[in-house]
Structure 1
Amino acid sequence: MTDRQPMDHEAYQAQARSGPCFVCSFLSGHPDYAHETIYEDDDHVAFLDRWPTVPGKVLVAPRLHIEHVVGDLDEAAYTRLMLVVRRVALAVETVFRPERTYLLSLGSQQGNAHLHWHIAGLPPGVPYRQQQFHALMTDSGVLRMDQASTSEMAAQLRQAVHAQGRPLP
């Protein structure tokens, strides 16, 4: 986790707080919001994080612009979303063999309001003081990834999701 580039926090915050919804923009095909898709169905999408702090960090979101993780989903929709999160997390574990897999729903009404889950596999051997929230924070920069490496990572994750072979309800 040493090959990093600085994160422009001010630009990110400006875009997250005053720009269009990043998930809706990605789904509509806006080129400034392109991401590598890992999984998709009629109701959900999973894609690589643009600013990963750990290899293979994936975001999972409903296609509909939903903002509240508990209140805006009925039990069946919440369960289906969590089954997608689990399926993608299993793929992350297959490809990266993390020591632990972190699952978080982040965002707020102030920025990145579209409901999304972060799936982040903690690489083995990360010193304890650099684990947990420290492993996810961009203060130490984000991983430097070229397009070929990102595309290969996405292909491996897509294959791992596909290899599970069972349809989601």
Structure 2
Amino acid sequence: MERSEAMDLQSYVERVRREACFICSLLTGAPGFDLEQIVFEDDEHVAFLDRYPTLPGKVLAAPKRHVKHVVRDLDADAYLRLMAFVRRVALAVESVVPSERMYLLSLGSQQGNSHVHWHIAPLPPGTPYEEQQYHALMTENGLIRWSEAQAADLATRLRHACHVL
């Protein structure tokens, strides 16, 4: 999928600083999260499609509990359970979306998007080196335009893959 949609960074920054936590809102069933289709969850964690994908098949995974610090707010067992969840989702993504490398990273800020979440981002095969790594993840380099129907289709395939593993 081509990255043809520009990202309005100013509006995005204003929204994430003004509105309630997007992960907590998604989990409570707030309206406006049609693209963030949940692909897998257990008692403690949730994985869902990224609303602003820069790579095909990009998924976010997070604890359901509002945790702000990826290391110090989780004891060792909770951290390892979260990492096992991230791994399971990443393996499912790899089984559905062609990729030559899987990027896993925790981003966010105490100034916006403070709920701990991991980006699970499959790099498409053949991506030129200059367009890999951070370049591939940066919304400033464009977003993949996609529809609710495409999100639903991908989510269905990922749900199946997560349950098979």
Q: TM (normalized to structure 1)?
A: 0.94
Match of 1:71, SS state, is coil
Deviations 1:91-122 (A, max 9, x none): 11101121100000000111100000000000
**How many residues are aligned here?**
164
Moved more, 31-40 or 86-95: 31-40
Q: Distance in 2 between matches of 1:25 and 1:33?
A: 9
Give the C-alpha shift of residue 2 in structure 1: 2.0
Give the C-alpha shift of residue 134 in structure 1: 0.3
| Residue matched to 2:134 | 133
Give the C-alpha shift of residue 18 in structure 1: 2.0
| Residue matched to 1:17 | 17
Mapping of residues 74-113 of structure 1, within 5 Å: 74-113=75-114
Give the C-alpha shift of residue 19 in structure 1: 1.3
| Residue matched to 1:167 | none
Q: Distance in 1 between matches of 2:65 and 2:109?
A: 16
Match of 2:26, SS state, is helix
Correspondence 1:28 to 2:28: yes
The answer for unaligned runs of 5 or more in structure 1 is 165-169
Could you list the structure 1 runs, at least 4 aligned residues long, displaced by more than 3 angstroms after superposition: none
Give the C-alpha shift of residue 4 in structure 1: 1.9
Deviations 1:19-71 (A, max 9, x none): 11110011111112442001011110000000000011000000000000000
The answer for unaligned runs of 5 or more in structure 2 is none
Match of 2:62, SS state, is strand
Match of 2:157, SS state, is helix
Moved more, 81-90 or 137-146: 137-146
RMSD across aligned C-alpha pairs, in angstroms? 1.0
Match of 1:106, SS state, is strand
Q: Distance in 2 between matches of 1:41 and 1:19?
A: 26
Alpha-carbon contact 2:3-2:54 (below 8 Å) kept: no
Q: TM (normalized to structure 2)?
A: 0.96
